[in-house]
Amino acid sequence: MKLTVLSALCAWFLLGAVGTASESAPSDENASVVRRTTLIVHDLDASIRFYRDVLGFELWLENNGKVTGDSLPSDAALGATSRFVIMKGKDPWIGMVGLLEYGGPKQLPKTPKRLVPGDAILMIETAEIDAIYQRMQRVGTPILKHPKTQTVTGANGTRWDAKFLFAWDPDGHLLEINQPGIGARAAGVVPVKTAAAPAVVRREFQDGIYGQLHVRRIEPSPSTERHAPIYLLHQTPLSGRMFSEVLPELARDRVVVAPDTPGYGESAGPRSAPTIEQYADALYEVIARAGEPVDLVGYHTGAMLAAVLAARHPRAVRRLVLISMPLFDAERRRGLRATAPLEIDGTHLTNDWKSTMSVRPDGQSLELAARLVAEKQRAGSNAAFAMAALAAFDAEPTLRSIRVPTTLIRPRDGLWDNTAAAAKIIPGARLVDMPHWTYGFFDAALQV
């Protein structure tokens, strides 16, 4: 029942917090998205087997409790068992199915009922309708309508073929299983696809303001329908390497680029500390090469650079995601210090290791933690520059000037309150709380 941070990040891009297929992304408080349908079931174990083994859902969450006076109304006695699970389909944000059993297993309906007002039909889109049909036949699922290809008319009048199957689940809920045909793509309906093999991350150097700038770049297969490119800006003193695990996930339907900020990772650095604006302009040169507006993501220091870049170059940024925003008041900025001095006995290295271990999340291997510590050393004398620029930067006027649709994500780390404060300043910003995420979440699978 583990949901990876990688999958959750993909969900934000796919569902419009950053936006892909629609410019009217649900970034305001009044937007609504159907997250889950919960079905009241007679035998939870039987329902789990059906939705998992026949339809291909995953068991994502399970809660066991008791019926109380505050529970949903039912015929179950107080103190009776209450069991609830969420089954996850292809997407971790929408398309979930809840299964709720009150008072223990009861006798299952013997025959499917006829539809009456108040009933619902659960529509499930798939890429393997024939395989599902075969599995239904093996377990004796009541079939209402066997698989049949029909012509569908869309909202814009465009027509395409799709295959439909109607069947009843173990509790008599009617299911419409739908597999769009190839022509659905031309009509603006994208069929569910099976996962493609991840593409290869390419590393390249580009000329920049301070010398050659190193980027990691990954592209989907040429036949894949593509959405806006995503550019990921890292925290300091790390590099784009911190996104190594998430790059292939995000690149399933778009180009993804993770540049090393000048002076960090393998990018050439300036001889003196730039301002935050100068760092942002240096990164803009990389983004401008995309030739189209991009979806921009920043983390910690990278979040501030992304915000400044979006404010200074709004036509280059389509959607903005800021994770753990380092918004500090003047007093806190004066106390910022980037790195400890080098020690001849190497204690600065052991201190770095102990600091990393103190916030190491579940799921982060020692190998990944060691890579993190090593990456902190690569910047050398440049390590202090970005933090010095952040310390000298009064961010509030810039944040108020942002006109790009913005989502702020706040994990449970040292910038929890700072991120919420930034969300109040950026016009129309959406704040998403992820209290189960913490340091190192880009390469750790978390229980959420």
Q: How far apart are CA 430 and CA 50, in angstroms?
A: 37
Query: Per the structure block, which two tokens stand in for 203?
Result: 């590393």
* pLDDT for position 21: 33
Higher pLDDT residue, 252 or 325? 325
Q: Specify the pLDDT at position 25.
A: 37
Q: How confident is the model at residue 284 (pLDDT cuts 50, 70, 90)?
A: very high
pLDDT in tens, 193-206: 444 455 788 999 99
Q: Which of 145-154, 216-225, 326-335 has the lowest mean pLDDT?
A: 216-225
- Domain residue limits, the chain: 33-71+79-106, 202-446
The answer, yes or no, to whether residue 385 has pLDDT greater than 80, is yes
The CATH number of 202-446 is 3.40.50.1820
Nearest-5° Cα angle at 375, 369 to 381: 145
Residue among 241, 245, 234 nearest 296 (CA): 234
Q: Closest Cα to residue 427, out of 22, 2, 28?
A: 28
Per-residue pLDDT reduced to its tens digit, 8-18: 555 455 444 44
Strand partners, 37: 97
In terms of Cβ atoms closer than 10 Å to its own Cβ (0-12, 13-18, 19+), residue 270 is: middle
Residue 226 pLDDT level (bands cut at 50, 70, 90): low
304: pLDDT strictly greater than 90: yes
Query: Over 60: is that where the pLDDT of 334 sits?
Result: yes
Which of 68, 67, 50, 70 shows the shortest CA–CA distance to 59? 50
Bridge partners of 446, per DSSP, are 3
| Contact status, residue 237 vs residue 379, Cβ threshold 8 Å | yes
Residue 311: pLDDT over 90: yes
Question: Is it the case that residue 141 has pLDDT exceeding 90?
Answer: yes
- Helix axes of 276-288 and 301-312: crossing angle, nearest 10 degrees: 70
Tokens of 20: 């892909």
> What architecture is domain 33-71+79-106?
Roll (3.10)
d(CA 262, CA 280): 10
Q: Between 347-358 and 366-377, two packed helices, what is the crossing angle to 10 degrees?
A: 130
pLDDT band at 147 (very low <50, low <70, confident <90, very high): very high
Please write the tens of the pLDDT for every residue from 48-99. 999 999 999 988 888 887 877 777 777 777 878 888 888 888 765 667 898 8
Burial of 204 (0-12, 13-18, 19+ CB in 10 A): exposed
pLDDT band at 117 (very low <50, low <70, confident <90, very high): confident
Return the closest-CA partner of residue 82 out of 95, 70, 97, 94: 70
Token digits for 161?
Answer: 């073929």
Across the range 170-198, mean pLDDT stands at 64
Span 377-406, average pLDDT: 88
Give the closest residue to 184 by CA, choosing from 258, 125, 246: 125
- Asked if 302 contacts 279 with a C-beta cutoff of 8 angstroms, the reply is no
